[in-house]
């Protein structure tokens, strides 16, 4: 068995803030988030032995590469600690976490800082859309789309509708749920947003079409933000617990993970899955790899899920791919109320990406941080009662990179 990996704590920035309006940049955001993470985890900066940074678009939005060095630039106490940057589009934060946990499992280090960071609101919206298009198969898809990613996920929705049927009111219910959950989250981007009676309908004025069948409320936000966690070996965690007067039960533990990567093109993915029961077999495989490694049979053993709702259709397809319903029947879980906070399996209690915000390279780390908060009973107003095991599903591109992580009570 590999070395157990514990999550000692973490922090995220306020996803509603604009760095440009505040006169700040990646350095200041990194310093704020890392120092808050260390304080919350009660770890001294000198105890960090290795650093992993998730970032997708630093060069495009800010002109800054070499972001593995940003923590030491922003927090001098990290000077000299080995660090590296990871990129996997929207799954960048999750692959950074995978690399950190692998180093701990291998016995190389006992204490790692994982940081996800992204600045996206410093350019006009159309420029941001072009920058993010780099995560598709550049030069081979999306050239005629005004907004590439809404168009790509609208095609996924159409493929889903063609195979199983799909009602737009079920997508609207996901958006309504996630925006409502975000109101409970003091760091969510949309926590203060107001909506009218027609905001989640097919009213073209209140909820205009963005691309295809996807409307404004179906789409996640352009966000500045960062999230960080401290992960550690059982040796370090046990000693840390003794020093701080706690037990291992005060921490989260990474119980299982799954990671699958396929080709860039959406058309190739849909073609490969055409004769399978599920639209994206590789996504389902990542989830069931995580279940197997966590020694559980499936979703019945989970207390909650934080999933990648870059668009409502991505949450919709996650529901059946995780085994919550039969293929094509995610609507059953939506109509039953099972996915609501207080339901049998709350999904995106934090508000997810749609309500919480989506700073691309930080999203995977933020999801794991929220899983840690849930299993340590520290999620505040969006706490899932009695949560003991939470799964995260983080997607990069058009499901190109799929990463699942299962976090349990330590």
Domain, as residue range, for 95: 5-123+222-243
Q: Strand pairing of 252-261 and 225-233?
A: unpaired
C-alpha 402/C-alpha 255 separation (Å) is: 17
- For the record, the structure tokens of 248 come out as 């291992």
Q: Is residue 276 part of a domain?
A: no
Q: Is residue 406 part of a domain?
A: no
Q: Is residue 214 part of a domain?
A: no
Q: Is residue 80 part of a domain?
A: yes
Three-state secondary structure string covering the chain: CCCCEEEEEEEECCCCCCHHHHCCCHHHHHHHHHHHHHHHHCCCHHHCCEEEEECCCHHHHHCCCCHHHHHHHHCHHHCCCCEEEECECECHHHHHHHHHHHHHHCCCCCEEEEEEEECCCCCCHHHHHHHHHHHCCCCCCCCCCCCHHHHHHHHHHHHHHHHHCCCHHHHHHHHHHHHHHHCCCCCCCCCCCCCCCCCCCCCCCCCCEEECCEEHHHECCCCCEEEEEEEEEHHHHHHHHHHCCCCHHHCEEEEEEEEEECCCCHHHHHHHCCCCCCCCHHHHHHHHHHHHHCCCCCHHHCCEEEECCCEHHHHHHHHHHCCCCCCCCHHHHHHHCCCCCCCCCCECCCCHHHHHCCCHHHHHHHHHHHHHHHHCCCCHHHCCCCCCEEEEEEEECCCCEEEEEEEEEC
pLDDT for 56: 98
pLDDT for 2: 77
pLDDT in tens, the chain (410 residues): 578 999 999 999 999 999 999 999 999 999 999 999 999 999 999 999 999 999 999 999 999 999 999 999 999 999 999 999 999 999 999 999 999 999 999 999 999 999 999 999 999 988 999 999 999 999 999 988 989 999 999 999 999 999 999 999 999 999 999 999 999 999 999 999 999 999 999 999 999 999 999 999 999 999 999 999 999 999 999 999 999 999 999 999 999 999 999 999 999 999 999 999 999 999 999 999 999 999 999 999 999 999 999 999 999 999 999 999 999 999 999 999 999 999 999 999 999 999 999 999 999 999 999 999 999 999 999 999 999 999 999 999 999 999 999 999 98
pLDDT for 212: 96
pLDDT for 25: 97
- What CATH number corresponds to the domain at position 64? 3.40.47.10
What separation in angstroms does the CA of 366 have from each of 249, 360, 371? Answer: 21, 10, 9
pLDDT for 115: 99
pLDDT for 340: 98
Q: Is residue 322 part of a domain?
A: no
C-alpha 180/C-alpha 371 separation (Å) is: 19
pLDDT for 3: 83
Q: Is residue 65 part of a domain?
A: yes
Q: Is residue 99 part of a domain?
A: yes
Task: List, in order, residues 6 or more apart from 223 with CB less than 8 Å away.
Answer: 15, 118, 120, 121, 189, 357, 358, 359
Q: Is residue 52 part of a domain?
A: yes
C-alpha 144/C-alpha 127 separation (Å) is: 15
Query: Per the structure, how many domains does the chain have?
Result: 1
């Amino acid at each position: 068995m590999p070395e157990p990996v514990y999550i000692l704590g973490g922090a995220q920035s306020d996803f509603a803030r604009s760095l440009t309006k505040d006169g700040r940049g990646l350095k200041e955001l990194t310093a704020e988030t890392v120092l808050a993470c260390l304080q919350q985890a009660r770890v001294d900066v000198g105890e960090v032995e290795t650093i992993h940074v998730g970032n997708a678009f630093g060069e495009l939005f800010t002109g800054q590469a070499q972001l593995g060095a940003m923590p030491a630039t922003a927090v001098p106490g990290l000077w000299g600690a080995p660090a590296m940057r990871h990129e996997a589009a929207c799954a960048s934060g999750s692959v950074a976490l995978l690399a950190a946990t692998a180093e701990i499992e291998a016995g190389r280090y006992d204490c790692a800082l994982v940081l996800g960071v992204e600045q996206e609101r410093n350019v006009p919206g159309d420029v941001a859309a072009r920058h993010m298009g780099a995560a598709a198969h550049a030069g081979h898809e999306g050239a005629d789309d005004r907004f590439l990613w809404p168009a790509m996920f609208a095609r996924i929705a159409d493929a889903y509708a063609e195979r199983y049927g799909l009602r737009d009111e079920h997508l609207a219910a996901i958006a309504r749920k996630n925006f409502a959950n975000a109101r409970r989250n003091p760091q969510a981007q949309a926590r203060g947003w107001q909506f009218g009676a027609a905001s989640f309908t097919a009213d073209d004025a209140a909820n205009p079409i963005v691309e295809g069948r996807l409307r404004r409320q179906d789409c996640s936000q352009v966000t500045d933000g960062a999230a960080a966690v401290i992960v550690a070996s059982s040796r370090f965690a046990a000693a840390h617990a003794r020093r701080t007067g706690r037990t291992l039960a005060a921490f989260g533990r990474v119980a299982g993970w799954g990671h699958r990567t396929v080709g860039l093109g959406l058309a190739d993915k849909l073609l490969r899955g055409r004769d399978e029961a599920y639209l994206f077999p590789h996504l389902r495989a990542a989830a069931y790899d995580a279940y197997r490694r966590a020694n559980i049979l499936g979703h019945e053993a989970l207390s909650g899920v934080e999933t990648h709702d870059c668009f409502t259709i991505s949450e919709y397809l996650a529901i059946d791919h995780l085994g919550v319903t039969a293929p094509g029947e995610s609507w059953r879980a939506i109509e039953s109320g099972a996915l609501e906070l207080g339901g049998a399996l709350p999904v995106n209690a934090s508000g997810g990406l749609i309500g919480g915000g989506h700073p691309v390279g930080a999203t995977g780390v933020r999801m794991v941080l929220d899983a840690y908060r849930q299993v340590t009973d520290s999620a505040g107003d969006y706490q899932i009662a009695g949560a003991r095991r939470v799964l995260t599903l983080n997607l990069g591109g058009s499901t190109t990179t799929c990463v699942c992580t299962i976090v349990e009570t330590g």
